[in-house]
A and B are shown apart, each in its own frame.
Chain A
Amino acid sequence: MSEPLLKVEGLKQHFPVSRSYTVKAVNGVSFEIYPGETYGLVGESGSGKTTIGRSIIRLYNPTEGRITFNGREISGKMDNATRAMLRTDMQMIFQDPMASLNPRKKVGDIIGEGLDIHRRAGSEKEREALIGEMLHKVGLSPEHAARYPHQFSGGQRQRVGIARALIMQPKLIIADECISALDVSIQAQVVNLMKDIQEETQCAYLFIAHDLSMVKYISDRIGVLHLGYMVESGTKEEIFSNPVHPYTKSLISAIPHPNPIVEKRRTSITYDYATSGIDYAKGTEHCVGGTHNVLGTDAEVAAWTKENRREK
């Protein structure tokens, strides 16, 4: 495989709340994203998935760890050239399209803001053409540039959010729960659009979500987070056909199937960290075949894999 586009090594993100209390949102997470692929981060609320996204794009200053993007380190102090590279080559799509679009700006100006700041468009005409082209790409029409965000429906607003991220021609887009706020039928439209765009521009996605079925559909590789630890990672086939960690198993079993006869007779697997006797801090990464990694002590991983083999 080629060089990774993004390399996260031992990322820790702590938030001191008071002198005696620190929230440890992310506790040593490592993963890599290759050019043109989609990496899915899943976990329940409070597992640190959004924090990771925001640390990578430097909305937070990482407490510890090393992040390399495009061959340059972006976790410490950055020089101007590195910062400019980060701010153009990495873009973010946010969860709530209404809250992330300035209600007092026209959609064309929202999309064009990156061009203005980084002086990417030579002339007013070129700027307009670029914005029009981008609107067309996300399924809106160039006339929409003169409208305000409140004049759009939820799905259309999220398209504007995508257009704003895409206009900088980024290499990596961090999509933070970007479809959670949308209706089912609109979710599918937006996800298809994101797939089409990836095919066309070869950008990579870091897709953050709690909906495992959507993550499975869009991602090439998946990382499962719980309480700030990456408990399991691997390709989507590895995760879904052979989940090893009990947390991953409970997550997968919790997805409701659109199949009433099966669903009514099935109960989901319960997983409670407090009573499970597992201490994430003691675990180390274990490779259980291919790129499939599981966090746990030697004994734990051995017991889980044994159990899996017996089930088969």
Chain B
Amino acid sequence: MQDNQTILQIKNLDISFRTNAGVVHAIRGVNLDLQKGETVAIVGESGSGKSVTMKAAVGLLDSNATVNSGEILYTYEDRDGAQKTVNLLSLTKKQLRTEFNGQRLAMVFQDPMTSLDPTMTIGKQIMEGMLLHKKMSKEAAKARALELLKLVGITDAENRFRNYPHQLSGGMRQRVVIAIALSAEPDILICDEPTTALDVTIQAKILELIKDIQKKMNLSVIYITHDLGVVAKVADYVNVMYAGKIVEVGNVEEIFYEPVHPYTWGLLSAMPDLDTNDDRLYSIPGSPPNLLHEPQGDAFAARNPFALKIDKKAEPPMFQISRTHFAATWLLHPDAPDIDMPRELKERIERSRKEAAKYL
């Protein structure tokens, strides 16, 4: 297997939704790359468009959505081993369903109770994909399903096989959902807030499980989340999304130790830290913009204490900081005044660097 092979590439994606109130411009030019075997996280508040972006890739957009422009290029090896690249957006729903969804791109959703069928045993649900996509015999599918249940850490797989979803705890259900996603051996696993509905202790277990499986199966994983702690644990690359745009991209160390976008500063500072004894938690003032009205200039300007005059007039382009690190903020323009991140955040990063040094 070659390294550094781009497996999924989203180019200039632009999506809007027709609603009763008017047209909501939810995705405004998103670019994203995913390499084979890597983990990419998309972080942002609710309504920032992180789920919509990935839903577009698997053809699950609601019927009132229109893709205005852009392409999602997926590179794969077909049955003869030849490399192929397709634009997922140009395919029909039927083509996606029969050839890509589940087999090559699998998705894990937030709430395991609503993504499982309550009237079917979990064993049947795991086998379903294999019978359909891989045309396996029932016996082979059952053997593989039991194997998968063991892989996701469910003990006593033979008995669990006949259980219904309501007989399992939340963590167990999410493990079953992961087993289903893995059943057809996909190339890409998309996890949409996989642990938000779970407890912290179970969250840690599930994340470690996904990481472990990723190594075993050489999967590429896309995480959609708003929890930066989760991102720190799993991601190689991070995309910070705000109001339908990616505002900062970088590898995980650049984002956590050298953030440059004020929104990323805000997100990082708003996390309560176990070591701080600050009296007040930093919070980003205001709330995300309503994309019913096209934002003027930088969409974050209204909530940004470091906003410059130009932020209200023109949208900042992506400035490059290093080979992998990009950010869209006018603060990086050579003519911009010298503004550094808030002091509290700087101290916190200093602390985490020190802590990290112990591990290196």
Contacts and interface: CB of A to CB of B under 8 A. Distances in A.
**Which of B45, B272, B273 has its CB near the most chain A CB atoms (within 10 A)?**
B272
A153 interface: yes
B268 A258 contact: yes
Contacts of B344: none
**Which of B201, B268, B270 has its CB near the most chain A CB atoms (within 10 A)?**
B201
A162 B306 CA distance: 30
A255 B200 contact: yes
A262 B356 contact: yes
A267 interface: yes
Given A214-B272, A254-B204, A259-B232, A185 B283 contact: yes
B105 interface: no
Contacts of B252: 260
A48 to B, nearest CB: 14
Nearest to B303: A185
Contact of A184 (B205, B227, B232, B280): B227
A268 B201 contact: yes
A110 to B, nearest CB: 20
Interface stretch (A50-58, A119-127, A186-194): A186-194
Given A256-B232, A258-B352, A260-B256, A217 B281 contact: yes
A195 B199 contact: no
Nearest to B251: A260
Nearest to B201: A254
A265 interface: yes
Contacts of B170: 45
Contact of B228 (A186, A255, A258, A261): A258
B233 A212 contact: no
Nearest to A47: B199
A220 interface: no
B233 to A, nearest CB: 5
A262 B281 contact: no
A256 to B, nearest CB: 3
B274 interface: yes
A183 B46 contact: yes
Given A184-B226, A268-B201, A258 B270 contact: no
A234 to B, nearest CB: 16
B156 interface: no
B58 to A, nearest CB: 24
A155 B204 CA distance: 27
Contacts, number: 126
**Which of B200, B279, B284, B355 has its CB near the most chain A CB atoms (within 10 A)?**
B200
B352 A155 contact: no
Contact of A44 (B45, B199, B227, B233): B199
B356 A211 contact: no
A252 B201 CA distance: 9
Contacts of A271: 201
B120 interface: no
Contacts of A187: 270
Interface in B199-250: 199-205, 207-208, 226-233, 235
Contacts of A216: 272, 274
Interface residues of A, number: 45
Interface string B43-86: 00110000000000000000000000000000000000000000
Contacts of A116: none
Interface in A185-215: 185-189, 191-192, 195, 210-214
A271 B46 CA distance: 32
A243 B131 CA distance: 49
A255 B226 CA distance: 15
B322 interface: no
B352 A184 contact: no
A189 B266 CA distance: 12
B204 A256 contact: yes
B20 interface: no
Interface string B249-291: 0001100100000000011101111100001111111010000
Contacts of A214: 272
A250 B201 CA distance: 7
Nearest to A199: B279
A216 B281 CA distance: 12
Contacts of A257: 229, 232, 274, 352
B360 interface: yes
**Which of A187, A189, A259 has its CB near the most chain B CB atoms (within 10 A)?**
A259
A187 B170 CA distance: 24
**Which of A210, A252, A260 has its CB near the most chain B CB atoms (within 10 A)?**
A260
B270 A212 contact: no
Contact of A210 (B199, B205, B230, B360): B199
A260 B253 contact: yes
A255 B270 contact: no
Interface of B: 45-46, 170, 199-205, 207-208, 226-233, 235, 252-253, 256, 266-268, 270-274, 279-285, 287, 352, 355-356, 359-360
22 contacts: A44-B202, A184-B45, A184-B228, A185-B45, A186-B283, A188-B282, A195-B279, A210-B199, A251-B200, A252-B274, A256-B204, A256-B227, A256-B230, A258-B232, A258-B271, A259-B355, A260-B232, A260-B235, A261-B253, A261-B360, A264-B233, A270-B205
Given A188-B283, A189-B283, A262-B355, 18 more contacts: A45-B199, A184-B270, A184-B271, A185-B45, A185-B266, A186-B287, A189-B284, A195-B280, A213-B273, A256-B203, A256-B227, A256-B230, A257-B352, A258-B228, A258-B268, A260-B233, A262-B359, A264-B232
